[in-house]
Amino acid sequence: MPEVKLVNVSKRYGRIKANDGINLTIKDKEYVSVIGPSGCGKTTLIRNIAGIIHPDEGEIFIDEESVSNVPIEDRRIGYVFQNIALFPHMNIWDNITYGPHVRGLPQQQTRPLALEMLDMIKIAARSEAYPHELSGGTQQKTAVARALISDARLLLLDEPLGALDVKVRTELRYELRRLVKDLRLTALHVTHDQEEAMSISDRVVVMKKGRIVEAGTPVSLYTRPQHTFTANFVGEANFLKGIVVETTADTSVVDIGSGVQLRANRGKETVDERVIVVFRPEFAVLDKPIEVNRLSGKVMDVLYSGSIIRVMIKLPNDETIAAKRIASFDKPMYDVSESVTISVSPDNVLVYPYPEEGLKKALALE
């Protein structure tokens, strides 16, 4: 029944605060991902939990027991590394049985466990092979099996798919999730690939500069991010500066310059407040614009990437926004300099207070 709780965990390296007062609870059998730009402290977080490093402040509880004085080897966690780290001098069988062996488990108990694991990842036939003779994907599956064989209930995954090819990466994603759910494990998965995090987890934690920005289900993070940083980091978004000109019970109207106004569902904003208006490119309707929230502009550029067409549009206020739609042959393509009109449903327009540090800094990855 592993439930992991971090209370006010901080870790600094010299002048850099890699973890700065982290509070987080991972529930039993939950699959949680941590995402954030490089250097945001996500690896420090997972290494703190594993006991590879020790927090300067705060405490970590696994099943309500503090693990501050528990060395790595006694934390009963499964840890999967980005660089796989199968021991190069041992074959697959020896790698998988390493954990039970060093814990002093007798062979007659180890054997069936190992066979079960090899069966689970379907490489029983290759148990005599050495790691470098296997493909990257198989290697990482073996590493997962190795991490799980000693009955670990908590799986820590540190960019586990980062070293693999794109195709293998997407395939393994789903296998990982299935495995964790089948075995009823608790998993914490660190990645910088937001798409991977979204598709694999029950809950996603977004980090920036050693702090947690927000946490939520993939859907809520994508459709209703609480912060402009999340809106920018997860997926893609258009950011427009504006001033609230009118509010009613359930809508706000924001002037984004040159007389262009956008309606949005009402949040906490008040009249005359400086705000940032955000909407995702795929929520901009290109073909049959609805009556509200129409924006007209000039096509600056058209990018074609297989399934999707991306159109860059310059608005009368000189801001450039992106709009996306599925590519299909029965609809017209767009020409550069052509005038277009798009619309965004007020449901899909998000309003945030203008960040004190400025928009650029609020969105900055570092």
Using CB under 8 A, list all residues that contact another protein.
Answer: 50, 52, 71-75, 77-79, 81, 83, 85, 87-90, 98-99, 102-104, 106-107, 143, 146-147, 150
Alpha helices in 3-54 (DSSP H): 42-50
DSSP 249: S
Distance CA 296, CA 150 (A): 61
Minimum gap (Å) between residue 77 Cβ and another protein: 6
SS3 52: coil
SS3 293: coil
Asked if 60 and 49 count as a contact pair (C-beta separation under 8 A), the reply is: yes
- Provide Rg for the chain, Cα atoms: 25
Cβ distance to another protein smaller for residue 180 or 244: 180
**With 0-12 CB in 10 A as exposed, 13-18 as middle and 19+ as buried, what is 337?**
exposed
Cβ distance to another protein smaller for residue 13 or 174: 13
Rounded to 5 degrees, what angle do the CA atoms 71, 181, 117 make?
65
Minimum gap (Å) between residue 88 Cβ and another protein: 6
Cβ distance to another protein smaller for residue 71 or 306: 71
Cβ distance to another protein smaller for residue 49 or 349: 49
Minimum gap (Å) between residue 159 Cβ and another protein: 12
Minimum gap (Å) between residue 32 Cβ and another protein: 19
Cβ distance to another protein smaller for residue 44 or 343: 44
DSSP 280: -
Whole-number Cα distances in Å, 248 to 201, 278, 294, 349? 37, 19, 20, 16
Distance CA 122, CA 162 (A): 22
Distance CA 279, CA 285 (A): 11
Minimum gap (Å) between residue 359 Cβ and another protein: 39
Minimum gap (Å) between residue 20 Cβ and another protein: 22
H or E segment at 154?
strand 154-158
Minimum gap (Å) between residue 82 Cβ and another protein: 8
Cβ distance to another protein smaller for residue 8 or 83: 83
Cβ distance to another protein smaller for residue 77 or 207: 77
